[in-house]
Structure 1
Amino acid sequence: MAGRIARRGAALVLGALWWCSVLRLALVSDAGVLEGAVAAGGWGLSLLPVHCVPKSRAAGAVGSDRWWDHWREAWRRSRGLRG
């Protein structure tokens, strides 16, 4: 329970810090590199794929040894050709 509260508190503080830096960049003329770095870093973190699973556990994943065959088969199917 304490871990969950700490995580939510950290997320709230970091989110507020990010929003402050973004608003300062947008509204204040003397915003500097620090605000830009915080804003870019927070935006970059939002691009992390947090819902990924290993390929071995992914449903319908094609192994790296079969990737080319799978791609070629999908290409032929889209063109109406048969192997």
Structure 2
Amino acid sequence: MGARCPSAGAVRRTAVLGLGALWWWAVLRLLLVPDAGALEGAVAAGGWGLSVLPVHCTPKARAEGAGTPHERH
């Protein structure tokens, strides 16, 4: 019996949950521990910075309903 490879979706969910937990740890530590340092600040700021990236955007050329390039203004 061979070992099964995890699906890409399962790996992605695990990574998101792990990184989310790391971010919350950093934020809570910054709020609750008076001597929290630069590491926690960097993790919290980095996670927030990633959250404002427009990763849901689609290039105009591939967007559904987009006209041909010469029709756009």
Counterparts of 1:2-81 in structure 2 under 5 Å? 2-58=7-63, 59=65
| Of 19-28 and 1-10, the range deviating more from structure 2 | 1-10
Which runs of 5 or more structure 1 residues have no equivalent in the other structure? 68-83
Cα distance in structure 1, aligned partners of 2:10 and 2:42: 27
Higher relative contact order (CA 8 A, sep 6+): 2
Q: Which structure 2 segments of 5+ residues have no match? A: 1-5
- Give the Cα separation in 1 of the matches to 2:25 and 2:57: 30
Aligned to 1:72: none
Count matched residues.
64
TM-score calculated relative to the size of structure 1: 0.67
- Pairwise CA RMSD of aligned residues? 1.8
Normalised by the length of structure 2, the TM-score is: 0.75
Q: Deviations over 1:41-75 (max 9, x none)?
A: 000000011111112233467x6xx75xxxxxxxx
Which runs of at least 4 in structure 1 moved beyond 6 Å after TM superposition? none
Identical columns (%): 66
